[in-house]
Amino acid sequence: MTAVNNSKAARPVTLARLARAARLAGHSAITQKPTLLVFDHGSIATTTIEPDEGDPESPEYIVTTTHHTPLSFDALRDAAELVNDWNHDCLTPTLVLNFDSTDEVGIAGTTVIDGRQGMTDEQLVAAADQAIDNASAFVHKLVERFPTVTLTPPVTLRDEGLASEPDDAFDNQAYAVDTDRIAASLASIGIDKLQRTDATEGKAIYAWINEVLFAFVLDNGPSLVVKGHWDPDLPGSEFLRAFLVCNDFNRMSDSPVAYCHSNVDGLQIRLDLAVTVAAGMTDRQLRSTLGTALKTMLHGVDHISKEVSGQSPVSWP
């Protein structure tokens, strides 16, 4: 197994390291506070990075993109289609439709940077770059779909500085992620009945877990994408109801993303969780990512299916 050429081993993720990683990727924050980074997208939207639930000790960081001017409530259906199409086609950010008032609609995008197993400098630069670039792509799509969005200036907060980077280091080396490592990691958590496709290139693995079909895919990002499938074969007329259930789930969950998918059999539900692997992953990171993905996606399928149909396909032990 060949190690990815990282300058350092995986070590704790801090906002100071994230700010530096973003700068190295070409993104400069307009605001830097001990628990908050803010990046602007012209005068249309802002992207923030902050610890999960505002806890400075949290190893998970939430990247949130919001536009400044709300959409008219008349745009609800079009906005719902934009959100579902994006979540269907794009890995990140996860889009959520917000309509807290009866006359305004908003769309927010969320990405999670998971530092629970530490990250190397290269991993952190790749994660920050992907999160902010994809946020920019969302803003571009928003303006393309709703060109009447009013331009308003972003709020610039006072820079209060960031804590210095820690010198602590984990004794973990990141290695390139391939399907052999994915299969070995799944086996380590008790999942060994796997089916591989595209054997020559070794790009995907499928497994039935608790009666739910999962796919583990390596795309050209490169990203590791875990996909959960629920096929209720709903009629197309059920789109808005199914979408709203997925939208509520996406609002409650940082990851994975749930969305509607149409095929010849009808309207289906998919859940995706994507993690960039351009800088490789340590064994602990890979095992943690897969375990977390399966747990949250099984609960997601269970919750969504019960809300939509009153019963769940998940077989709990």
Domain limits of the chain?
A: 1-173, 177-317
Q: Which regions of 156-256 does DSSP assign to beta strands (E)?
A: 195-197, 204-209, 212-218, 223-234
User: What does the pLDDT read at residue 312?
Assistant: 93
Topology of the domain covering 177-317: Yope Regulator; Chain: A, (3.30.1460)
Would you state the structure tokens that stand for residue 116, as one six-digit string? 């629970």
Answer whether 263's CB lies under 8 Å from 249's CB. Answer: no
pLDDT in tens, 207-217: 999 889 999 99
Cα–Cα dist 309/314, whole Å: 13
* Ranges 69-78, 122-131, 163-172, 187-196: which has the least confidence: 163-172
Helices and strands counted in the chain (H then E): 6, 13
pLDDT in tens, 271-306: 999 888 888 888 888 988 898 899 999 999 999 999
User: What does the pLDDT read at residue 299?
Assistant: 92
User: What does the pLDDT read at residue 167?
Assistant: 38
Mean pLDDT, range 235-247, rounded to an integer: 94
Domain 1-173: give its CATH architecture.
2-Layer Sandwich (3.30)
Cα–Cα dist 129/135, whole Å: 10
Q: How confident is the model at residue 182 (pLDDT cuts 50, 70, 90)?
A: very high
Interaxial angle between packed helices 283-309 and 179-188, expressed in degrees from 0 to 180 and rounded to the nearest 10: 70
Alpha helices (runs of H) in 2-75, residue ranges in sequence order: 15-24
Stated as kind and residue range, the H or E segment containing 258 is strand 257-263
Q: Do domains 1-173 and 177-317 have the same CATH topology?
A: yes
User: What does the pLDDT read at residue 213?
Assistant: 92
Q: Which regions of 81-234 does DSSP assign to beta strands (E)?
A: 94-98, 104-114, 195-197, 204-209, 212-218, 223-234
Global pTM reads 0.72
pLDDT at 4 over 70: no
What is the largest distance, in Å, between two alpha-carbon atoms of the chain?
56
User: What does the pLDDT read at residue 172?
Assistant: 64
pLDDT in tens, 79-134: 999 999 999 998 899 999 988 667 788 999 999 999 888 999 999 999 999 999 99
User: What does the pLDDT read at residue 197?
Assistant: 76
Stated as kind and residue range, the H or E segment containing 38 is strand 36-41
Mean pLDDT, range 149-159, rounded to an integer: 42
